[in-house]
Amino acid sequence: MERGELIKSAAFWLNMFKNDINTLGGLIGITYNSGHFDQWFSLYNKKIEITSNSIANILSSLDWQTCLKFCLDMSKKMPEPVLYNMVMFFYDDNIPAICLDSRKEIIANLPEYFCGSDSRVKFLRKYFYISQYQNYTSKNSNPSKFNQLIELVDNQNAWSLDELFEYVGAYNCATWTFRGIILGILDPNFRTEEDNSKLVATFNNILTKDSCSLVPNKEKSKYRTRYKFVEVRKTTSKVPQRLIFGAKGVKPNFGITDVIDGDINLVANDGEALIYDQKIEDSLNWSELLEWWEDYNLDSKISLKKRLIESLDSEPEILFFNAYFQNFYSQLDKNLPALIPQVYVAYDPISAKNLPNGKARIRQRIDFLMILPNLERVIIEIDGKQHYAKEDGRADTKRYADMVRVDRELRLRGYEVYRFGGAEFYNDQNTPGDNAVSVVKDFFTALFKQHEIL
């Protein structure tokens, strides 16, 4: 659909439902807010008659994004989703498409009564224009498309699901609309938690080729699990199996209990490393880490935050960690991503002292790790002078080259890597704590906007 077609269709439906949704009020608001004061004045004083043509002229005068947002907002007020579905085509560029084959396969795997005991036609009417009238413009009393479908689908069970979904337009609707149908079908009121989980697994197997997946929506799952879509980029890392973190100085010794399955445990844990082995669906938030700590911790006298601070290696790391919570704990609350310190991302069983020149072969532990939505892994390193200089203070080009080489390797494995110089927190104008708060706020505000957390 072209922009001109949308404007023409939007004008028709905004005029059709003008009394239901207060089209005049909406146009007065948008012309004023967008600075079209001549149009606003004429509308406000009712010098413009509200017709399809006058609405189209006003929409055409708006910049495209303003026009699109206005059409979307007004479409949500309409008793029929016809304009909403048109608008959503213009938002599809922001998400991976769900192809026709996937749509058909998903429908083929639906239970016959996919919305429980509810009418299937009434359910689909939330997403598609299934008119109450044979001719909406005249609103006559002839048998409607809606009543005909009720008889054929709900009463006679005469159509297959494939025929039904093709008829209403599910195979060629916007991907946003199709996503909405799937999430509606997964309403926990329609089936048991176990059955819904099985259905999600089936859907995710199908959606793999479309670079998207269904995961629990933590914000909306208070009592029963509800789901949301996430994009699965081709470079996305695998689901983390466990996190080993928070060791206090001493390197833990790992053992492989099952080589075939890759099961790992700690043979000796002198550094008191923590092991998080809960399933991570989409991201790991601080609230989830706290719940795990309450179950795992044998010493209730120590908080998780205090325990993690004990594992930090330097004052700049402590400043960074504290500044993160000072900036974002209250703002994001349960949605605050966990900032996990001293995480092992690799393991070399041979100690550095037993290797040639006493050099470790791989970077084993990182300063901080975050697992953001869509399982995006973010590494944060706080660099001291030892990262780029020799003990006498002179620049060490080899040490620096090794560091950037390992950064490249981590990026190729799907990690985002960010480095901070510890010296950023120290100057003559402010205290180190104040500097850390400022630096950390700017960085994470940008990062969280990039990942749609803020």
For 347-372, the pLDDT digits (tens) are 555 554 554 554 544 457 889 999 99
How many CA within 13 A on the CB side of residue 384?
Answer: 9
In this structure, the answer to whether residues 339 and 390 fall within a common structural domain is yes
Residue 250 near residue 270 (C-beta atoms within 8 A): yes
In this structure, the answer to whether residues 157 and 285 fall within a common structural domain is no
* 3 state SS of 169: coil
Report the C-alpha gap between 146 and 132 in whole angstroms.
5
Measured in whole angstroms, the distance separating CA 68 from the mean position of its chain's CA atoms is 23
**Last residue of a domain, which of 69, 93, 117?**
93
Comparing 429 with 235, the larger pLDDT belongs to 429
pLDDT of res. 259: 47
In this structure, the answer to whether residues 287 and 425 fall within a common structural domain is yes
In this structure, the answer to whether residues 206 and 351 fall within a common structural domain is no
In this structure, the answer to whether residues 159 and 128 fall within a common structural domain is yes
In this structure, the answer to whether residues 133 and 161 fall within a common structural domain is yes
pLDDT of res. 298: 57
Angle, vertex CA 286, rays to CA 420 and CA 281, nearest 5: 105
In this structure, the answer to whether residues 89 and 106 fall within a common structural domain is no
β-bridge mates for residue 266, sequence order: 254
**27: phi > 0 → left, psi -120 to 50 → alpha, else beta; which?**
alpha
- Which residue range is the domain that position 444 belongs to? 243-450
Domain membership of residue 132 (yes or no) is yes
Q: Which two tokens stand for residue 418?
A: 């960010």
Domain membership of residue 131 (yes or no) is yes
Domain membership of residue 237 (yes or no) is no
Domain membership of residue 37 (yes or no) is yes
Q: Is the pLDDT of residue 89 over 80?
A: yes
Nearest CA-CA partner of 151 in 165, 135, 170, 164: 164
pLDDT of 222-270, one tens digit each? 678 899 998 876 544 566 778 889 888 666 665 555 544 555 565 555 5
Report the C-alpha gap between 177 and 127 in whole angstroms.
7
For residue 369, which amino acid is it?
A: L
**421 φ, ψ to 5°?**
-85, 130
Domain membership of residue 213 (yes or no) is yes
Query: What's the predicted TM-score (pTM) here?
Result: 0.61
Residue 27 near residue 55 (C-beta atoms within 8 A): yes
Domain membership of residue 331 (yes or no) is yes
pLDDT band of 302, cuts 50, 70, 90: confident
In this structure, the answer to whether residues 25 and 109 fall within a common structural domain is no
Comparing 240 with 107, the larger pLDDT belongs to 107
Domain membership of residue 429 (yes or no) is yes
Report the C-alpha gap between 182 and 169 in whole angstroms.
14
In this structure, the answer to whether residues 106 and 221 fall within a common structural domain is yes
- Cβ count near 256 (within 10 Å): 13
- Cβ count near 329 (within 10 Å): 12
Q: What is the DSSP letter of 22?
A: T
Report the C-alpha gap between 74 and 96 in whole angstroms.
25
**Last residue of a domain, which of 49, 73, 93?**
93
In this structure, the answer to whether residues 81 and 219 fall within a common structural domain is no
DSSP assignment of 117-147 equals: TS-HHHHHTTTS---SSSSTTTT--SPPHHH
Give the mean pLDDT of 204-214.
Answer: 92
In this structure, the answer to whether residues 105 and 81 fall within a common structural domain is no
**Last residue of a domain, which of 167, 197, 231?**
231
In this structure, the answer to whether residues 105 and 89 fall within a common structural domain is no
Angle, vertex CA 66, rays to CA 137 and CA 13, nearest 5: 5
How many separate domains does the chain show? 3
Could you tell me which residues come within 8 angstroms of residue 33 by beta carbon, excluding any fewer than 6 positions away?
none
Domain membership of residue 238 (yes or no) is no
Across the chain, mean pLDDT equals 84
Q: Which two tokens stand for residue 101?
A: 């084959």
Report the C-alpha gap between 168 and 181 in whole angstroms.
12
